[in-house]
Amino acid sequence: MAIKSQLLLSLLVLALSITCNNASFVRRGKNHTQTMSTGKAYKVLITHPEVPQEGIDLLKENCELIQVQSLPTNRAELLQKIRGVDGVLWGGHEALNAEVLDAAGPQLKSISTMSAGIDYVDVPEVKKRKIPLGHTPTVLNTAVADLAVGLLIAAGRRFHEGRRKIETDNWENYHLNWMLGQDIRDSIVGFYGFGGIGQAIAKRLSGFDIDQVLYTTRRRVHKEIEQELNAKKVDFDTLLAQSDFVVIASPLTADTQGVFNTTAFNKMKETAVLVNIGRGKIVNQDDLYEALKSNKIFAAGLDVTDPEPLSAKDKLLSLDNVVVLPHIGSATKRTRAEMATIAAHNVLRGLVGEPMLSPAY
Ligand SMILES: O=C(O)C(=O)CO
C-alpha cells in the first residue's frame, strides 16, 4: 500500500508539474489579464529562508518571489514583506492568523503551509476571507512512520536508560533480569488517530509479527485497510485498556487537546509504552511525567512536546523511561524537498483558482 501510494504520488507530482509549467499564469483581473512590471504574474512570499530549492524553482517560473530572511522568523519582517502579495508559502510553524492576513491585504488568494499539521493556523480566519489553504500531508507519512517505529523500539527497549547506565558506570549485565524491555512480537498496538501516518506505522509494524492493531478515530477506515493491517476500530477506553503500545498519530484539535491525562494513563497497562508523533498538547505533560515517574505506564517515546522547544531543564528529561526527540519526524532531505514541492503546487493552483493538490479544508 505504502509503495503504491508513493508511486501514485510521484506520478501526480510529475503530472502537476507539467500542468503548472504549461498553465497560463496571467493575473486574472476583472476585465483584463495583466502581468507585473517584473513580467511575472503573481507576487509570492516565502516565509522561511530555508525552503528547499525544489519548491522555489517551481514558483519562480511564474511568480515574483519575496523571502523572509530572518531565522527564527522576525515577525516585523514577515508583516512588512507580506504586504500586497498574492500568494504565500508558509515555511515555518509561526502563528498564521488575522494579524498576518490583515497585513497581507485583500488581494491574497493562495496560501500553503509546508506541514501536515496546521494547528498554528487560524483556519476560521483564513476561511472567512475565502482564501484557499493547502498543506502537505502524505509526503511525510513514511519519514514520520519510520521515526515512530524507532521511538516505539527505543522506549520499549530502554535505549535512553541503557545509555545512561553506561555513562554512569552502571553496566550490570551480570543480572539476568537487567534492563528487560517490552516485546513487540505478539503485541497489541493501539492508534489514537489512524490516517495516513498511523497506517504507515501499522504497515511497518506488521513486519514485527504483532498480534493486532486497534484504532480510535471518528470515522472507520476502509474495510480493505482494516483487513490489510489487521485493524479494528474500538472506543478510547478499550484502546487504552488493551494496547501494549499506544501510538498518538492524530492532529491537535479542540477535541484531542489534553486527552492523554491521568485518567487515561490510569486505564493503560503498567507495561504499556506511549508513543507520540502527533502534537505535544494532545498529552497533558505534567500527568505524563507523574505516570512515568510512578511507573503507572512503562515508558514513552515522544517526537513532540509541550512546549516546543522543550527546555533543557524540563522535568521530563530527568526520567530514565522517556525518549524525547526535538520534533524531527519529517526531517529528511527528500521529505523536505517533497513538502516544498507540494506546497509550491498548492500555491500555484490557488493563484489560478484551481483546486489545490492537498487542500486543508
Ligand atoms: O508536518 C507536520 O505537521 C509535522 O509535524 C512533521 O513532523
C-beta 188 within 6 A of ligand 1: no
Segment 337-342 mean pLDDT: 98
Burial class of residue 175 (count of CB atoms within 10 Å of its CB; 0-12, 13-18, 19+): exposed
Segment 294-309 mean pLDDT: 98
pLDDT digits (tens, 9 = 90+) for 63-98: 999 999 999 999 999 999 999 999 999 999 999 999
The rounded distance, in Å, linking the Cα atoms of 19 and 32 is 23
The rounded distance, in Å, linking the Cα atoms of 162 and 154 is 10
Segment 157-183 mean pLDDT: 96
- 14 or 308, higher pLDDT: 308
Region of residue 226 (left: phi > 0; alpha: psi -120 to 50; beta: else): alpha
Q: What are phi and psi of 314, to 5 degrees?
A: -60, 140
C-beta 113 within 6 A of ligand 1: no
Under the banding of pLDDT at 50, 70 and 90, the label for residue 20 is very low
pLDDT greater than 50 at residue 288: yes
Segment 3-15 mean pLDDT: 47
Under the banding of pLDDT at 50, 70 and 90, the label for residue 32 is very low
- Cα-to-chain-centroid distance, residue 13: 20
User: Dihedral sign, CA of 197, 198, 200, 205?
Assistant: positive
Query: Residue 222: what pLDDT?
Result: 97
Residues in the chain: 361
For residue 81, the tally of other CB atoms under 10 A from its CB is 21
> Of the given ranges (32-41, 123-132, 247-256), which has the lowest mean pLDDT?
32-41
Classify domain 140-169+180-324 by CATH number: 3.40.50.720
Eight-class DSSP state of 54: H
Which residue of 51, 140, 151 sits with most ligand 1 atoms within 8 Å of its CB, as the best mutation to test the pocket?
140
pLDDT greater than 80 at residue 33: no
The residues carrying an active-site annotation are: 327
C-alpha cell at 183: 516485546
C-beta 330 within 6 A of ligand 1: yes
C-alpha cell at 189: 498496538
Under the banding of pLDDT at 50, 70 and 90, the label for residue 239 is very high
Segment 16-38 mean pLDDT: 47
The single residue listed with the C-alpha cell 506488521 is: 206
Measured in angstroms, how far is the CA atom of residue 25 from the centroid of ligand 1?
30
The DSSP secondary structure of 116-127, one letter per residue, reads S--TTB-HHHHH
- Those residues whose C-beta lies under 8 Å from the C-beta of residue 57, and which sit 6 or more positions away, are none
For residue 344, the tally of other CB atoms under 10 A from its CB is 32
Query: Residue 40: what pLDDT?
Result: 82
The rounded distance, in Å, linking the Cα atoms of 209 and 196 is 21
Eight-class DSSP state of 140: T
Residue nearest to atom 6 of ligand 1 (CA): 330
Segment 235-239 mean pLDDT: 98
Mean pLDDT (the chain) is: 92
- Which atom of ligand 1 is the closest one to the Cα of 136? 1
Query: Residue 127: what pLDDT?
Result: 97
pLDDT greater than 90 at residue 21: no
pLDDT greater than 90 at residue 175: yes
| Cα angle value 135/116/240 (rounded, 5°) | 145
C-beta 190 within 6 A of ligand 1: no
Under the banding of pLDDT at 50, 70 and 90, the label for residue 111 is very high
101: three-class secondary structure by DSSP: helix
pLDDT greater than 50 at residue 19: no
pLDDT greater than 50 at residue 61: yes
C-beta 329 within 6 A of ligand 1: yes
CATH superfamily of 41-116+330-360: NAD(P)-binding Rossmann-like Domain (3.40.50.720)
Segment 159-187 mean pLDDT: 96
Segment 189-206 mean pLDDT: 98
C-alpha cell at 51: 525552503
Q: Which amino acid is at 338?
A: E
Query: Residue 27: what pLDDT?
Result: 55
- Residue ranges, CATH 3.40.50.720, the chain: 41-116+330-360, 140-169+180-324
- Which atom of ligand 1 is the closest one to the Cα of 115? 1
Say if CB 63 and CB 42 are below 8 A apart: yes
Under the banding of pLDDT at 50, 70 and 90, the label for residue 39 is confident
pLDDT greater than 60 at residue 349: yes
The rounded distance, in Å, linking the Cα atoms of 146 and 153 is 11
Segment 43-47 mean pLDDT: 98
Under the banding of pLDDT at 50, 70 and 90, the label for residue 38 is low
C-alpha cell at 288: 505524563
For residue 325, give the nearest of 155, 169, 179, 166 by alpha carbon: 155
For the chain, percent of residues with pLDDT exceeding 90 = 88
Under the banding of pLDDT at 50, 70 and 90, the label for residue 338 is very high
Under the banding of pLDDT at 50, 70 and 90, the label for residue 31 is very low
- Which atom of ligand 1 is the closest one to the Cα of 117? 3
C-alpha cell at 298: 512503562
